[in-house]
């Protein structure tokens, strides 16, 4: 279904910025072969077959810029279903810039972020949620996020939604037909069959909406804020947590300058441990209900690990401190230095607290229990990681909108309201479903989605 | 001249690290097609022609890791003259890592820095100085460095050297022959022709050695340290210098944390202006002959710009200050605020100083003169930028060694010393020449050269 809709030929550096052995510049559009051919000294590219590679010199204004390999993908056998040319050049940012400039001078236009994938979508290569999965795949940084992006690229839940949407369209058209014959008071759409279908769709929606909690965790990772008084053993705990898997530990500069994040992969999910220096340095802050900044950090957390020294903390202290910390965020209490007392003693002392683990960070006792507990808190056991999971907040919102509209349809059916209201609610639901798969799009929506891609994809 | 010398198949990420639309993983070696084929779900790669591209899934342990494009280059039609396979995958570091791991598990070995180019050299694709030019090309960041790297890749002066070396080998063999007949006191090698040849080689050596001053500047850019007392107009000057070409100005974090470099391209050469905060903040430092740190910075400079306020500085001050600053490094004196006095006045006041320019940084008067002067100081007008230029310090040293040996040959010829000394000096010279082109190499030399490449090239 190759279309000639886009008259211009777009171009971008498709590999990441920076010095490397090679860099790849990609063109897409009806003139891409012609444009590259005009700057290529070697075989006549216009006469070569699709999926072939050609060595030659890239020459601009009689000056050789580089020796390059040119790969040809002739429409529709390409990513965008247009003519695509990839130029593999030496990985010097200077050379890449020169080649890009020469190609733009010769008629190509610098691509916007995601524009290649947008063309692929508009030319029918895949639906919108599959296109979005391409960006997720590129951004994937853990086993689970990688798997869910691939699943979504294969079609994922959008196939299921497409099917349900078609069934609903069938009923919608019957309901709309009733509107045309409003004065005759006929019912073309079988109300009980419609109700059954909508019940089914709502059930699917709810399953998918429910999966978003996990999907979000898979896609974005889990922020774990570690809090605690000085000398509670916070750094020792962090080291203990990271120690075993040192190989996959990395230091990522935080979004703010004063925090360092340490990441740890637990069961395929990325956990980011955020060391709130603010809390550490100002003991009194926590006790006096905290400073705004500290609390802000905690509010971005999915889980708070609160570590305390079992030998110096009373149950009353802990109750006060933990009440201050936890609002809606799961709190895991870590009683450190548990080697200095018996377990029975500790259990008596801190009787009645939930989510508490006694450890010895120094002796590495029970540290694995923390990992298991973190997994438990985050992973929804009722959702199978292998199944279709919603990871995209746009889909989540559309699913919620659809469920809301369908629930209105259901109450309209129950209360036997007029057909126009029923028809309108069905239209809302169809719209929300169509937005997920891209059957219904607006320019704004597309711009918004593809602007989040990287340039060159 | 494809050799089967390397039994193992090497692999590396060839594009730069980081997130991009795509990443390219490259394999080279006799088993590269076989290894990729075992993980590729699509056409049978073993049966495909060279220079063709194939879409398929990369599957490892029954799990799809990515949808990839595989490009085949069958020996000897490849960069290394071995079988080369390039896998174009999504630009996620996570996916790239997974694919690399799968390929290494399947029999490939992680390539060392420059190992692909080293194989290309060892398989006779190009000589050593051409191989080195590949690294220079990737690192090129200005018009001039790009041009000289391309020139060297095409063969550059190594062709000239090869030719002279062959002529010299001819004489060397005759001289060696004389050694075998030493007792008969014959002369197979015509001494006057030998002298003519050596004169010619020395002339070429000197031209090339001479070009290194420019070559080094082209390759590495020029460090310009700007010094001056506070309020001399240093920042205004820097802004004035950068202003006109704001587009190609960039901020590069310095090697040390407390300096910022601003780069400016003047006539195709990269100038790095280094703002020595140390000098600026501590006025007394310069007056009291400077702190070690400040002087260290100045010692790395190719040129020092010393800016002073013509209204407050006496000729005596300036003489003292400039003597402190300049040791062996060209010093350019910039008399700022020249709009506050007549040129005649100033010329009288500062009579006898060399390399002095009067400017008004604020009014942008004479700022271009500084650029021209910088160009003059750095560019050797006697060397044509378009000609063969030595940019590599290794070549420079080999050329110097060769010239030294040849001068010994000349004095041996003049003083009619014994043939063994003559033969030995010729051997030294041949050795030095051979090291440039790679006709004579040692493992250490090769390791040293290629370890400076990036991984994947």
Mean pLDDT of each 10-residue bin along chain B, 457 residues long? 63 91 96 97 96 97 94 96 97 92 94 92 91 88 86 84 90 87 79 91 91 84 83 79 50 39 80 65 44 65 88 89 76 91 89 90 86 83 72 91 93 85 90 87 83 83
- The residues, any chain, with a CB within 8 Å of residue B399's CB and separated by 6 or more, are B205, B208, B209, B212, B390, B432, B436
Q: In what order do the strands lie in the sheet with B269-275?
A: B251-253, B260-266, B269-275, B222-228, B303-309, B331-336, B356-358
Contact A15 B26 (CB under 8 A): no
Q: Nearest CA of chain A to the CA of B414: how many Å?
A: 47
The reply to whether residue A21 touches residue B146, judged by beta carbons under 8 angstroms, is no
Same-domain pairing of B139 and B99: no
Q: Tell me which residue in B14, B94, B141 faces A146 most closely, judged by beta carbons.
A: B94
Handedness of CA A65, A71, A75, A81 (dihedral sign): negative
**Chain B residue nearest residue A73, CA to CA:** B53
Closest chain B residue by Cα to residue A135: B21
Sole residue written with tokens 């711009």: A447
Question: Strand runs (DSSP E) across A175-302, as ranges?
Answer: 222-228, 250-253, 260-266, 269-275
Q: Domain total for chain A?
A: 3
Residues of A in contact with B94 (CB under 8 A): 140-142, 145-146
User: Could you tell me if A401 and A368 lie in one domain?
Assistant: no
Nearest C-alpha of chain A: how many angstroms from B19?
6
Q: Are residues B106 and B194 in the same domain?
A: no
My answer on whether A263 and A365 are in the same domain is yes
Tokens linked to B53: 């591209």
Residue at which a domain ends, from A356, A378, A400: A378
The C-alpha atoms of residue A394 and residue A152 are separated, in whole angstroms, by 14
Residue keyed to tokens 């992680």: B110
Does residue B430 fall inside a structural domain?
yes
A214: left (phi over 0), alpha (psi -120 to 50) or beta: alpha
Of A79-83, A108-112, A328-332, B112-116, which gets the smallest average pLDDT?
Answer: A328-332
Tell me whether residue B455 is in a domain.
Answer: no
Q: What is the pTM of this model?
A: 0.76
Note whether B16 contacts A14, CB cutoff 8 Å: no
β-strand partners of B308:
B335
- As a whole number of angstroms, the distance between CA B95 and CA B113 comes to 21
Domain assignment present for residue A213? The answer is yes
CATH classification at residue B271 = 3.40.50.300
Looking at A74-176, which runs of residues are DSSP E strands?
Answer: 84-90, 109-110
Let me know whether B108 and B153 are in one domain.
no
Query: A378, A398, A414 — which closes off a domain?
Result: A378
In-domain check, residue B121: yes
On chain A, the residues whose CB falls within 8 A of the CB of B66 are: 137, 150
Each residue of A154-209: pLDDT tens digit? 888 888 888 889 999 998 888 888 888 877 777 888 888 999 999 999 999 999 99
Q: Are residues A232 and A356 in the same domain?
A: yes
Q: Do B20 and A14 touch (CB under 8 A)?
A: yes
Tell me: do B403 and B444 sit in the same domain.
yes
Site of tokens 């082209």: B218
* A108-166: pLDDT as tens digits: 999 999 999 999 999 999 899 889 988 888 888 888 888 888 888 888 888 888 888 99
Same domain, B279 and B329: yes
Quick check: B16 and A16 CB within 8 A? Answer: yes
Is A186 in the same domain as A307?
no
Which CATH number is A67's domain given?
Answer: 3.30.1360.120
Among B125, B152, B181, which residue terminates a domain?
B125
Judge whether A455 lies within some domain.
no
Asked if the structure places residue A457 within a domain, the reply is no
Domain co-membership, A356 together with A248: yes
> Residue B125: CB partners within 8 Å, gap ≥ 6?
B79, B80, B81
Using pLDDT thresholds of 50, 70 and 90, give the confidence band for residue A382.
low
Residue B423 maps to which CATH number? 1.20.120.430
Identify whether B456 is part of a domain: no
- Are residue B92 and residue B145 in the same domain, yes or no? no
DSSP β-bridge partners for residue A26: A12, A86
B367 Cβ partners below 8 Å, 6+ apart?
A: B237, B240, B241, B359, B361
- Residues for chain B: how many in total? 457
- Structural domain boundaries enclosing A189: 133-217+388-450
pLDDT band at residue A231 using 50, 70 and 90 as cut-offs = confident
Q: Sort out which chain A residues have CB atoms less than 8 A from B95's CB and list them.
A: 137, 140, 146
Query: Distance from B248 to chain A by nearest Cα, in Å?
Result: 12
SS3 B29: coil
In a domain, A316, yes or no: yes
Among chain B residues, the shortest Cα distance to A69 is held by B51
Per the CB < 8 A criterion, the answer to whether B239 and B315 are in contact is no
Nearest CA in chain B to A141: B94
Q: Are residues A110 and A18 part of one domain?
A: yes
Mutate to test the interface with B, among A16, A21, A456 (most CBs of B within 10 A): A21
């Amino acid at each position: 279904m190759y279309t000639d809709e886009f008259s211009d030929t777009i171009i971008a550096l498709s590999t990441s910025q920076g010095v490397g052995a090679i860099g790849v510049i990609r063109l897409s559009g009806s003139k891409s072969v012609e444009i590259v051919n005009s700057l290529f000294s070697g075989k006549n590219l216009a006469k070569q077959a699709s999926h072939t590679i050609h060595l030659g010199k890239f020459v601009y204004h009689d000056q050789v810029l580089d020796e390059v390999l040119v790969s040809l993908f002739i429409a529709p056998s390409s990513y965008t279903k247009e003519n695509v040319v990839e130029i593999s050049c030496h990985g010097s940012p200077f050379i890449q810039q020169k080649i890009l400039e020469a190609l733009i001078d010769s008629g190509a236009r610098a691509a916007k972020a995601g524009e290649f994938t947008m063309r692929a979508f508009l030319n029918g290569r895949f639906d919108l949620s599959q296109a979005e999965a391409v960006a997720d795949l590129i951004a994937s940084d853990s086993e689970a996020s990688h798997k869910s992006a691939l699943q979504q690229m294969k079609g994922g839940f959008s196939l299921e939604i497409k099917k349900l949407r078609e069934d609903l369209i069938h009923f919608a058209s019957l309901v709309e037909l009733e509107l045309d014959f409003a004065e005759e008071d006929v019912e073309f759409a079988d109300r009980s069959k419609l109700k059954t279908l909508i019940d089914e769709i709502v059930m699917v929606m709810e399953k998918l909406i429910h999966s978003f909690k996990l999907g979000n965790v898979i896609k974005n990772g889990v922020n774990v804020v570690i809090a605690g008084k000085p000398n509670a053993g916070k750094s020792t705990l962090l080291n203990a947590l990271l120690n075993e898997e040192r190989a996959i530990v990395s230091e990522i500069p935080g979004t703010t300058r004063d925090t360092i994040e340490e990441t740890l992969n637990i069961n395929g999910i990325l956990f980011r441990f955020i060391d709130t220096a603010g809390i550490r340095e100002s003991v009194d802050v926590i006790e006096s209900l905290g400073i705004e900044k500290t609390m802000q950090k905690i509010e971005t957390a999915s889980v708070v690990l609160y570590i305390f020294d079992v030998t110096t903390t009373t149950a009353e202290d802990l109750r006060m401190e933990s009440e201050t910390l936890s609002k809606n965020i799961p709190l895991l209490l870590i009683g450190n230095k548990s080697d200095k007392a018996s377990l029975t003693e500790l259990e008596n002392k801190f009787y009645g607290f939930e989510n508490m683990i006694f450890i010895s960070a120094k002796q590495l006792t029970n540290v694995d229990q923390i990992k298991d507990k973190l997994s438990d808190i985050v992973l929804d056991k009722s959702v199978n990681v292998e199944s279709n999971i919603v990871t995209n907040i746009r889909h989540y919102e559309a699913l919620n909108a659809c469920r809301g509209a369908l629930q209105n349809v259901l109450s309209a059916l129950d209360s036997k309201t007029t057909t126009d209201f029923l028809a309108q609610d069905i239209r809302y639901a169809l719209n929300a479903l169509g937005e997920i798969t891209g059957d219904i799009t607006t320019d704004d929506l597309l711009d918004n989605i593809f602007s989040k891609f990287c340039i060159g994809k």
